[in-house]
Structure 1
Amino acid sequence: MSELLKSVDSRTQLVGQNRFEILMFRLSGRQRFAINVFKVQEVLTLPKMTVMPGAHPNVVGVIHLRGRAIPVYDLARAIHLKPVPITEDSTVIVSEYNSTVQAFLVGGVDRIVNLNWDSVRPPPSGAGREHYLTAVTHVDDEIVEIIDVEKVLAEVQPSRSDVSAEITEDYTPELAKGKTVLMVDDSPTAISQARATLRSLGLVVHTCNNGEEGLNLLQKWATEQEGKLHDQLLMVITDAEMPVMDGYRFTTEIRQDSRLKDLYVILHTSMSGSFNDAMAEKVGCNAFLSKFKADELAKITIDRLKAFAEEQEKRAK
Structure 2
Amino acid sequence: MSNILESVNKRTQLVGQNRLELLLFKLNGRQRFGINVFKVKEVLQCPPLTNLPKLNPNVRGVAHVRGMTISVIDLSAATGGRPIEDIANSFIIISEYNRSIQGFLVSSVERIINMNWEAIMPPPQGAGKLSYLTAVTEIDNELVEILDVEKILDEISPVNTNTSKELDAALTIDRDQHYHIMVIDDSSVARKQIIRALTSLDLQIDTAKDGKEALDKLRAIAKELDDVSTEIPLIISDIEMPEMDGYTLTAEIRDDPKLKNIKVVLHTSLSGVFNQAMVQKVGANDFIAKFNPDELAAAVNKHLSL
What TM-score, normalized to structure 2?
A: 0.94
Partner of 1:6: 7
The Cα of 1:223 is off from its aligned counterpart by: 2.0
Is 1:303 the equivalent of 2:298? Answer: no
Give the Cα–Cα distance (whole angstroms) in 2 for the partners of residues 86 and 231 of structure 1. 58
Give the Cα–Cα distance (whole angstroms) in 2 for the partners of residues 10 and 87 of structure 1. 27
Give the Cα–Cα distance (whole angstroms) in 2 for the partners of residues 148 and 135 of structure 1. 8
Count of residue pairs the alignment pairs up: 305
Partner of 1:69: 69
Larger mean Cα displacement after TM superposition, 265-274 or 248-257: 265-274
SS in 1 for 2:218: helix
SS in 1 for 2:64: strand
The Cα of 1:279 is off from its aligned counterpart by: 2.2
Please give the per-residue CA displacement for 1:44-98, whole angstroms capped at 9, x wherever unaligned.
Answer: 1111210111111111100011111100000000000111114322211111111
Partner of 1:243: 242
Partner of 2:286: 287
Give the Cα–Cα distance (whole angstroms) in 1 for the partners of residues 257 and 9 of structure 2. 34
Give the Cα–Cα distance (whole angstroms) in 2 for the partners of residues 84 and 294 of structure 1. 35
Matched to 1:302, the amino acid is N
Q: CA RMSD in A?
A: 1.8
CA contact (8 A) 1:94 1:102 kept: yes
CA contact (8 A) 1:124 1:130 kept: no
The Cα of 1:274 is off from its aligned counterpart by: 5.5
Give the Cα–Cα distance (whole angstroms) in 1 for the partners of residues 209 and 3 of structure 2. 34
Is 1:218 the equivalent of 2:235? Answer: no
SS in 2 for 1:292: coil
Partner of 1:49: 49
CA contact (8 A) 2:174 2:305 kept: no
Q: Name the CA shift for 1:5/1:255 in 2 (closer, same or farther; >3 Å).
A: farther
Aligned 1:102-181 pairs, distance under 5 A: 102-127=102-127, 131-171=131-171, 174-175=174-175, 177-181=177-181
SS in 1 for 2:191: helix
Q: Name the CA shift for 1:130/1:142 in 2 (closer, same or farther; >3 Å).
A: farther
> Structure 1 regions of 5+ residues with no counterpart?
308-317
Q: Name the CA shift for 1:200/1:218 in 2 (closer, same or farther; >3 Å).
A: same
CA contact (8 A) 2:233 2:263 kept: yes
> Structure 2 regions of 5+ residues with no counterpart?
none
The Cα of 1:126 is off from its aligned counterpart by: 2.9
Matched to 1:250, the amino acid is L
CA contact (8 A) 2:23 2:34 kept: yes
CA contact (8 A) 1:123 1:130 kept: no
SS in 2 for 1:131: coil
What TM-score, normalized to structure 1?
A: 0.91
CA contact (8 A) 2:12 2:39 kept: no
Aligned 1:271-286 pairs, distance under 5 A: 271-273=270-272, 275-286=274-285
CA contact (8 A) 1:183 1:237 kept: yes
